[in-house]
Amino acid sequence: MTERVLQYLQEQRETLLDKLNAFLAIPSVSTMSAHNEDVKKAASFVESYLEDIGFTTVERIETKGHPVVYAEWMGAEGAPTVLVYGHYDVQPADPLELWESEPFEPTIRNGRLFARGASDDKGQVFMHLAVFEAFMKTEGRLPVNVKVCIEGEEEIGSEHLYEVLQDNQSRFDADFSVISDSGMVEAGQPTILYGLKGFTGLEVTVRGPNRDLHSGLYGGAVKNPAMALAHLLSSMKNEEEVVTVAGFYDEVEPLSERERTLMNASPGEDYCETTGVPEVTPEKGYTAKEHTMARPTLEVNGIFGGYQGEGTKTIIPASVTAKLTCRLVPGQDPEHIQDLLVKHLEAHTPRGTTLSITREPLSARAYKVDPEHPLLQKAAASYAKAFGKEAVFVRMGGSIPVVETIDQLYGMPVVLLGFGTPEDNLHSPNESFPLDSYDRGMETLVHYWQAVATK
């Protein structure tokens, strides 16, 4: 059975690539209202494709924003049901002048397909559709029951998807979910991403005098808000990268020796080389890989106040602001951590100042599946068959809010089957996707659907 499906994909390769190119040619930029019609066109493309394949229910769920395309094929009696999520919208292409070929005229160069959305996420969505087509055309059925949810607002925060997921729980419910919207640690290296970080944040403004003051006439009487902010931030994290906010680590799940070994064994970038820093500075007691993948962080994303022009202006600034965000790990509750940050700031407010705190309204819990979970072990085996290389197991410091939402709402495991590579230039000019990932990724999916067909 596998052979015939794989043969179909090989024989139809040119036809399928032409079809993918037609999908990528639609400039479905969700952030720009000028592209609203294009976004709809991309939704229609997905709908028609699913209908052509033979999905029995194909519908467009309208929202206040861009529609969600839903479809299902439930003919695999006794087999599990999977929810496949993806998105058909893309980031803007600007700055256009930096593209070597037109962002919406897909072009192959050096074994890569260049186009906006080639990797994130139209290319990977298309791989799923093509694999479903191959099964249906050769076997007349899919190995598992499939529900498909492809949204059009991922690049603008999936605002309306959450409502749809909440309002249609029986429709979207499944045994597990598969998402191909991420990448591998390096090209050709099968990667099982089994954990994502959560997220919370806030903005704090330290206010001193009611206006910028002459530093000569008031220096010594009035607290300098920028120096006060420096003391305040220093009170939150020490020079060994340990967050010193009371309670911050209380609920953090300890990192097992086995996980530490897995993480440290995974290939990864040489941070000094890729970022130019003179040395890495992880939390005391942890490696850089362990900290980025599995320990919580507190970062200052921006800081500003007072005179920022050329030369010197001898003032005491009226106020200074810092933007702070945390990446959280399993066990940490985002709202609770935000509370702890606020409490810490209020308790450490420097004398002679007042604070204004704005809580970041968005937040997310961390997500983690046991790497020993059969669904992940089967994914690793499928990857290995297709790529000829054992999979590595990693966690990621980033957050994918939809993963957390599916986890929270449906309590189902989410399997992240990503085929991107670090060189894909997501969100940047010259986005591309390696054809090797495209071919072997589809092969991985073929193996995977068969591997998970029996519970």
Closest CA to 253 of 150, 173, 166, 331: 331
DSSP state, 97?
G
Q: How far is the CB of 228 from a second copy (least distance, A)?
A: 9
| 88-118 CB burial, b ≥16 within 10 A, e <16 | bbbbbbeeeeebeeebbebbeeeebbbbbbb
Q: Rule CB under 8 A: say whether 322 interacts with a second copy.
A: yes
When binding is defined by CB under 8 A, the residue of 292, 382, 405, 432 that contacts a second copy is 292
CB of 52 to a second copy, least distance (A): 37
The answer to whether 323 contacts a second copy (rule: CB under 8 A) is yes
Positions in 259-278 near a second copy (CB under 8 A): 271, 275-278
Q: Is 3 left (phi over 0), alpha (psi -120 to 50) or beta?
A: alpha
Cα–Cα dist 193/376, whole Å: 9
Angstrom CA distances, 199 to 149, 293, 299, 333, 339, stand at 24, 13, 11, 9, 13
Number of amino acids touching a second copy (CB under 8 A):
82
Residue 366 lies near a second copy (rule: CB under 8 A): no
Q: Give the three-class secondary structure for 169.
A: helix
Of the pair 72, 120, the CB lying nearest a second copy is at 120
Copy the structure tokens of residue 24: 């990528």
Q: Are strands 191-196 and 367-368 parallel, antiparallel or unpaired?
A: antiparallel
Return the number of the residue (288 or 342) whose C-beta is nearest a second copy.
Answer: 288
Contact range with a second copy by CB under 8 A, out of 52-60, 71-79, 112-120, 302-310: 302-310
Tokens of 189: 């290296």
CB of 197 to a second copy, least distance (A): 6
Do 334 and 198 contact (CB within 8 A), yes or no?
yes
Residue 254 sits in the site that holds a second copy (CB under 8 A): no
Q: CA-to-CA distance for 358 and 204, rounded, in angstroms?
A: 6
Q: How far apart are CA 448 and CA 382, in angstroms?
A: 5
Site for a second copy in 205-244 (CB under 8 A): 208-211, 213-224, 226-227, 229-234, 237, 239, 241
Which residue bears the tokens 């099982």?
192
Scanning 32-40, 58-66, 80-88, 280-288 for contacts with a second copy by CB under 8 A, the matching segment is 280-288
* Cβ closest to a second copy, residue 37 vs residue 299: 299
Name the minimum Å distance from CB 121 to a second copy: 17
- Restricted to residues 411-440, the positions that interact with a second copy (CB under 8 A) are none
Does the footprint of a second copy cover residue 197 (CB under 8 A)? yes
Give whichever of 353 and 432 is closer to a second copy, judged by the CB atom: 353
Write the interaction track for a second copy spanning residues 82-101; mark x where CB under 8 A is met and - where it is not: --------------------
Binding track over 329-358 against a second copy, x by CB under 8 A: ---------------------xxxxx----
